[in-house]
Structure 1
Amino acid sequence: MTGPPPVRSVQGTTRLYAVLGDPVAQVQAPALMNPVLAELNIDAVVVPVHARPEHLEDIVRGLKRVENLDGMFVTVPHKAAVRRLADRCGTTVDIVGSANVLRREADGGWLAENFDGSGFVAGLAGAGHEPRGSRVALVGTGGAGSAIAAALLAAGVDRLLVYDTDTAKLTALAARLKAHWPGRVHALSGPHLPDVDIAVNATPLGLRADDPLPFEPASLPSGSLVADIVMKPRETRLLREAAARGHRIHHGIHMLEGQLNSYRAFFDLR
C-alpha cells in the first residue's frame, strides 16, 4: 500500500509558508500543500499560525521580517483585514475586498491575491457541477464569500442572490458586484432562499457542532445542490440535513483542492 509522499525534514535551508487563522486547528492547507512540496522536491514547509484578530497586524508585520518566509495563506476571519497589510493587491482583491494569500516579491514588497472564488468554481466544475447558466444563492459575504460571488458571476451564473446578517457588508459587496455584472446580482433580506439551482454556505457556521444552520435546506427545491465551504468537519450539519432531504451536496475541501494549481503558479512551485 502506498500513501502520500513523505514531508521533507525541516532544516536550516527550509523555506516557510504560514497559514493564518482563528481558529487554526481546522486548516487543511498544510495537509494538502506539504505532500505537494515533498513530491516536487522543494525544501519548504507550510505551518499553521494561530493569529487572533487583535494580534493580526503585529503577527503579519513580524512574519514579513522572517527572511526565509516566502508567503502566507489566510483563512477565517482575516481575509478582509489582511488586505490592508499588503503592499500591492491583485485585481480580484480590489473587486472583492479580501485576500487569502500573500507573496513576498523580489523587491521585498508583499502582493495579496485571492483564489477562493476561482478555487470554488474549479471545485464545482471538477465535481460535475457546472455553474454557467444556473441560479445561485450565496449566504455569507465575508472574505471567502465575496471572492466566490465574483467568481460565480465571472463563470456565467444567470442570477446570483446574496445574503449576510451584516447589512452594511452585504450592501457594499452587492454594489461592487453590480458595477461589474449589472442586472445579475440581487441582495436578499433574509436567509430564506427562493427557487435556486445551487445554494452556498460561505459563512463559518458549521465549524462547531452547536452552530445554527446558515439557511434551511428544507426550503430548497428538489434536486438543488447544497455546497459548503467549511472543510472540517467534512460533513457539516448543513450537508447532513441537505443529504437527508435528497439534495445533492458539495464538500468544502473541493474549494481548496481547486486552488492547488493557482497556488503553485502564484508561488512558482515547480
Structure 2
Amino acid sequence: MTGKITKIAGVMGWPISHSLSPRLHGYWIDKYGLDADYRAWPVKPEELGGTFSQLKENCAAEGGVFRGTNLTIPLKETAFDVVDILDPSAKRIGAVNTVVVGEDGRLTGRNTDGIGFIDSLAEHVNTDVLRGGTAVLLGAGGAARAIAVALTDLGMAKIIICNRSTSRAETLAGHVGTHAEAALWETRNNHLLDADILVNCTSLGMTGQPPLEISLDLLKKSAIVSDIVYVPLETDLLKAAKSRGNIAVDGLGMLLHQAKAGFEAWFGVTPEVDTALRRHVLDGLKGK
C-alpha cells in the first residue's frame, strides 16, 4: 500500500473463519500496490441487508469507501432478494456471490462462481470432453446453481442433482432446464454409473462439517471428480478418487478464478491467477 486505505471490500458468510479470501485478495492488493483493504465479516442470513447499510457508514467513518463483498455459505441465495440490481449472471443462476457498490450507492449482485469453476476445471482437463456427457451434482445451493448452469453452457447433455432436500433439487432442476433432473439423496451412488463428472457442491467433508458419505465403486475411471470444498484441500472424496485413478480437482482453483471479476470491479485492476498466488493461498491452509 502507498497511502491511507481508500477502498474497502471483503467476504461475508456464516461461519467465515475458514475463508481464504482475505489472504487471496490481500496478496493481490500488495502485489499491485493498492490503497485498499479486504476483510472478513461473519454475517447471518437475516443480518445481510442491515450489514450492508452499516458497512457503508463504518467505512466512510474510517475515511474509506465500501466497494462490495464476496458471499459464501449460506448467503448466496439470500442476497438475491437483498441487492438493488441483479446482473444477468446472477439472474440466470438465481444466486449472488459478488456484490458491487455503485457510485450511487446501489448494490449490484453478480455471480462469478460458474466461470470460476470452468476456468479451474480447464487447468486440469480439456473441458470439450464433457460436451454431451452426464454430470452428477451433490447439493442444490448457490454453488450448485452456478455449476449446473456453467456445465449446461459447456454443452453437457444431462445434469443429475442429488440433494438431501429433494424439493430443493427439484427446484434447481426446474431452473436449469429440461435436461436437468432431481434425484433422491439415497440414490446418489447409483447415479455415478453414467457420470462423466461428479461435483460435490455441499459443505460435507469440510473441516468442522459432517463427512460426505459416498461410494465411487460404480464411477468409471475416466470420470472427473471435483469438490468445491478447499478446507481441507484434499477432501476424503478427492483422496478416494485419486486412489482409483480418477482425475481429482480441488476447490481452491474455483476460489482463485471466481475472485478475479470482483477484485477488478472493486479496485480497478485485473488480477492474475498464477502459481505464486496458489502457493501463497495454500500456505494459509496450514493449521486449518
Q: Same fold (TM over 0.5)?
A: yes
Are the equivalent residues in 1 in contact too, given 2:100–2:262 (CA < 8 A)? no
Matching residue's letter, 2:180: V
Question: Which residue of 92, 104, 118 maps to 1:95?
Answer: 92
> Deviation above 4 Å: which 4+ runs of structure 1?
none
Cα deviation, residue 250, structure 1: 0.4
For the pair 1:72 / 2:54, whether they are aligned, the reply is: no
* Residue 249 (structure 2) aligns with: 250
* Residue 18 (structure 1) aligns with: 10
* Residue 238 (structure 1) aligns with: 237
For the pair 1:27 / 2:22, whether they are aligned, the reply is: no
* Distance in 2, Cα, partners of 1:162 & 1:219: 17
Are the equivalent residues in 2 in contact too, given 1:60–1:85 (CA < 8 A)? no
Q: From the superposition, tell whether residues 100 and 214 of structure 1 become closer, same or farther in structure 2 (CA, over 3 Å).
A: farther
* Residue 139 (structure 2) aligns with: 140
* Residue 196 (structure 1) aligns with: 195
* Distance in 2, Cα, partners of 1:214 & 1:51: 29
For the pair 1:168 / 2:179, whether they are aligned, the reply is: no
Identity %: 28
User: What does 1:54-69 correspond to in 2, within 5 Å?
Assistant: 54-65=46-57, 66-67=59-60, 68-69=65-66
* Distance in 2, Cα, partners of 1:77 & 1:92: 19
* Distance in 2, Cα, partners of 1:105 & 1:233: 35
Question: Which residue of 32, 36, 40 maps to 1:40?
Answer: 32
Are the equivalent residues in 1 in contact too, given 2:101–2:108 (CA < 8 A)? yes
Question: Which residue of 118, 121, 125 maps to 2:122?
Answer: 125
Alpha-carbon displacement from aligned partner over 1:172-227 (angstroms, at most 9, x marks no partner) = 1111111xxx4x22222232323111100000111136622153223312232110
What is the alpha-carbon root mean square deviation over aligned residues?
2.0
SS at match of 1:188: strand
Matching residue's letter, 1:90: D
For structure 1, the 5+ residue unaligned runs are 1-7
Structure 1 window deviating more from structure 2 (209-218 vs 159-168): it is 209-218
Matching residue's letter, 1:144: A
Aligned length, in residue pairs: 258
Are the equivalent residues in 2 in contact too, given 1:103–1:111 (CA < 8 A)? yes
* Residue 151 (structure 1) aligns with: 150
Q: From the superposition, tell whether residues 200 and 269 of structure 1 become closer, same or farther in structure 2 (CA, over 3 Å).
A: same
* Residue 110 (structure 2) aligns with: 113
Are the equivalent residues in 2 in contact too, given 1:218–1:245 (CA < 8 A)? no
Are the equivalent residues in 2 in contact too, given 1:205–1:212 (CA < 8 A)? yes
* Residue 42 (structure 2) aligns with: 50
Question: Which residue of 66, 76, 81 maps to 1:84?
Answer: 81
Matching residue's letter, 2:124: A
* Distance in 1, Cα, partners of 2:104 & 2:111: 21
Structure 1 window deviating more from structure 2 (109-118 vs 157-166): it is 157-166
Q: From the superposition, tell whether residues 88 and 133 of structure 1 become closer, same or farther in structure 2 (CA, over 3 Å).
A: same
Matching residue's letter, 2:182: A
SS at match of 1:232: coil
Matching residue's letter, 2:252: I
SS at match of 1:58: helix
For structure 2, the 5+ residue unaligned runs are 270-288
Cα deviation, residue 80, structure 1: 0.6
Matching residue's letter, 1:189: L
* Distance in 2, Cα, partners of 1:18 & 1:209: 23
Structure 1 window deviating more from structure 2 (137-146 vs 159-168): it is 159-168
Could you say which structure has the higher helix fraction? 2
Structure 1 window deviating more from structure 2 (53-62 vs 246-255): it is 53-62
* Distance in 1, Cα, partners of 2:256 & 2:41: 21
* Distance in 1, Cα, partners of 2:49 & 2:260: 28
TM-score normalised according to structure 1 size:
0.88
